[in-house]
């Protein structure tokens, strides 16, 4: 079955966020930063949908495609250099998890399906650290002895799935999280050392405190069993028991965050590289939010169902590229920006990119 897809990619330089004032409490700064990011996301999506409706009549813009909204890795992050000591590190998750979920849900509510059609929101990641027990027999690398695990995840939701209608979850928005599994040497500032024996990297806070972080994260891609999972917030979100990429009318999709994608690209597995917990393993689009993965059109082995890769990088260049997978060529084709981009000025084009393409959605029993 053919499915028309539109991707709205929010561009953002994740190293150029508003700074924390010298004596500003962490909570005040985090709230101010999240409001700024929410406004940027809302404005970028609004500009893109304006361009779409200017190019097509409104009925066609609503009826034909499914729309995905992306943003780069670290979009929702509090900059590492804004955390002044270990107390800030410990306080941050409570200030990020619920409010970020709320902010994304709030944006989703501003673009109802009855007016804008089906939209899937995959708007970047939020990263934070949780202290975990040190495995027996492993020496500490950091002087304070604490060991941390990274939670760096995409919070995914839609504007069309109905809320839960019964029990304790009644009225809560359906959503899911997809985590990054491999921590990069630049995820928390710049790595100061690496311990292969302990599988950890050490970073440094503004006050000089070292922070030892596991290189691999075991956080599950859902919220009810993961030990550090995002919970329900003011707008409500109950996480699924797995990552459901089979939404009605939406082509199955995957997510690979930054280093996870880089490791796959550099050393692809002979089997499907996706973890088995995708509800539909025959995904046709892979979304790559990153900060620091160089974009290349060089082909590499991918699952047989994969047809497009959408890459959104959060460095200063704010690169957004959509590749069409072609297994007969050593290099893949770049999908041209959608024609509707002509309705946006240069400044708006620096804020958002729009791509449109058609995918073949796998049918029942494996047919495509």
Q: Where are the domains of the chain?
A: 2-363
Find, among 186, 202, 83, the residue nearest to 142 by Cα: 202
The Cα 347–Cα 226 span in angstroms is 41
Query: 3-class SS at 289?
Result: strand
The Cα 324–Cα 29 span in angstroms is 41
- % of residues, the chain, pLDDT over 90: 60
* Tokens (6 digits) for 97: 């998890």
* φ, ψ dihedrals at 333, nearest 5°: -85, 145
Please report, to the nearest 10 degrees, the dihedral formed by the alpha carbons of residues 296, 301, 305, 306 taken in order. -10
What is the CATH architecture assignment of 2-363?
4-Layer Sandwich (3.60)
Confidence of residue 320 (pLDDT cuts 50, 70, 90): very high
Name 44's Cβ contacts closer than 8 Å, sequence gap at least 6.
Answer: 8, 10, 11, 351, 352
The Cα 63–Cα 65 span in angstroms is 6
Query: 3-class SS at 95?
Result: helix
What is the pTM (predicted TM-score) of this model?
A: 0.89
For residue 10, pLDDT beyond 90: yes
The Cα 69–Cα 73 span in angstroms is 13
The pLDDT score that the predictor gives to residue 196 is 64
The pLDDT score that the predictor gives to residue 199 is 86
The mean pLDDT value for 207-228 works out to 67
Confidence of residue 219 (pLDDT cuts 50, 70, 90): low
Please report, to the nearest 10 degrees, the dihedral formed by the alpha carbons of residues 234, 236, 240, 241 taken in order. 60
Which has more pLDDT, 195 or 36?
36
Which has more pLDDT, 40 or 247?
40
The mean pLDDT value for 79-90 works out to 96
Please report, to the nearest 10 degrees, the dihedral formed by the alpha carbons of residues 56, 57, 61, 62 taken in order. 180
Of 110-119, 140-149, 245-254, 357-366, the one with minimum mean pLDDT is 140-149
The pLDDT score that the predictor gives to residue 334 is 97
Burial degree of 100 (CB within 10 A; 0-12, 13-18, 19+):
buried
Confidence of residue 226 (pLDDT cuts 50, 70, 90): very low
Confidence of residue 205 (pLDDT cuts 50, 70, 90): very high
Of 1-10, 112-121, 143-152, 257-266, the one with minimum mean pLDDT is 143-152
The mean pLDDT value for 251-273 works out to 79
The pLDDT score that the predictor gives to residue 230 is 47
Which has more pLDDT, 340 or 165?
340
The pLDDT score that the predictor gives to residue 264 is 86
For residue 240, pLDDT beyond 50: no
Find, among 70, 77, 109, the residue nearest to 96 by Cα: 77
The pLDDT score that the predictor gives to residue 57 is 72
- Element of type H or E holding 60: helix 58-63
- % of residues, the chain, pLDDT over 70: 79
Q: How many CB atoms lie within 10 A of CB 98?
A: 17
**Contact by Cβ (8 Å): 190, 140:** no
Which has more pLDDT, 337 or 222?
337
Which has more pLDDT, 127 or 57?
127
The pLDDT score that the predictor gives to residue 177 is 82
Burial degree of 23 (CB within 10 A; 0-12, 13-18, 19+):
exposed
Which contacts qualify for 51-56: CB closer than 8 Å, 24 or more apart? 51/340, 51/341, 51/342, 51/343, 51/344, 51/348, 51/354, 52/6, 52/338, 52/340, 52/354, 54/340, 54/343, 55/338, 55/339, 55/340, 55/342, 55/343, 56/340
For residue 231, pLDDT beyond 70: no
Residues shown for the chain: 368
**What residue ranges in 34-180 does DSSP mark as E strands?**
66-71, 119-123, 125-132, 147-158, 173-179
């Amino acid at each position: 079955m053919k499915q028309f897809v539109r991707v709205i990619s929010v561009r953002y330089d994740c190293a150029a966020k508003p700074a924390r004032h010298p004596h500003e409490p962490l909570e005040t700064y985090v709230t101010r930063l999240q409001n700024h990011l929410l406004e940027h996301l809302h404005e970028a999506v609004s500009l893109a949908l304006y361009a779409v409706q200017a190019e097509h009549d409104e009925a066609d813009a609503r009826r034909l495609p499914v729309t995905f909204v992306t943003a780069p890795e670290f979009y929702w992050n509090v900059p590492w250099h804004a955390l002044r000591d270990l107390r800030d590190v410990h306080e941050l998750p409570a200030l990020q998890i619920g409010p970020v979920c709320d902010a994304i849900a709030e944006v989703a509510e501003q673009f109802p399906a009855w007016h804008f059609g089906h939209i899937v929101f995959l708007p970047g990641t939020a990263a934070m650290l949780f202290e975990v027990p040190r495995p027996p027999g492993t020496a500490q690398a950091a002087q304070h002895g604490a060991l941390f695990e990274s939670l760096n995840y995409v919070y995914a939701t839609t504007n069309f799935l109905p809320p839960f209608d019964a029990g304790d979850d009644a009225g809560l928005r359906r959503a899911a999280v997809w985590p990054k599994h491999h921590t990069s040497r630049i995820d928390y500032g710049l790595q100061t050392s690496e311990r292969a024996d302990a599988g950890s990297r050490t970073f440094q806070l503004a006050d000089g405190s070292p922070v030892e972080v596991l290189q691999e994260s075991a956080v599950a891609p859902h919220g009810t069993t993961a030990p550090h999972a995002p919970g329900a917030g003011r707008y409500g979100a109950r996480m699924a028991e797995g990552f459901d990429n089979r939404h009605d009318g939406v082509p199955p999709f995957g997510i690979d965050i930054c280093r996870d994608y880089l490791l796959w690209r550099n050393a692809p597995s002979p089997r499907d590289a996706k973890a088995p917990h995708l509800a539909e393993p025959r995904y046709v689009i892979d979304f790559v939010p990153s900060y620091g993965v160089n974009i290349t059109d060089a082909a590499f082995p991918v699952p047989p169902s994969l047809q497009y890769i959408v890459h959104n990088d959060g460095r200063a260049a704010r690169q957004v590229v959509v590749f069409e997978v072609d297994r007969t060529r050593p290099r893949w084709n770049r999908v041209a920006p959608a024609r509707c981009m002509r309705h946006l000025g240069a400044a708006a084009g620096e804020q958002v990119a729009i791509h449109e393409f058609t995918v073949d959605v796998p049918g029942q029993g494996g047919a495509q």
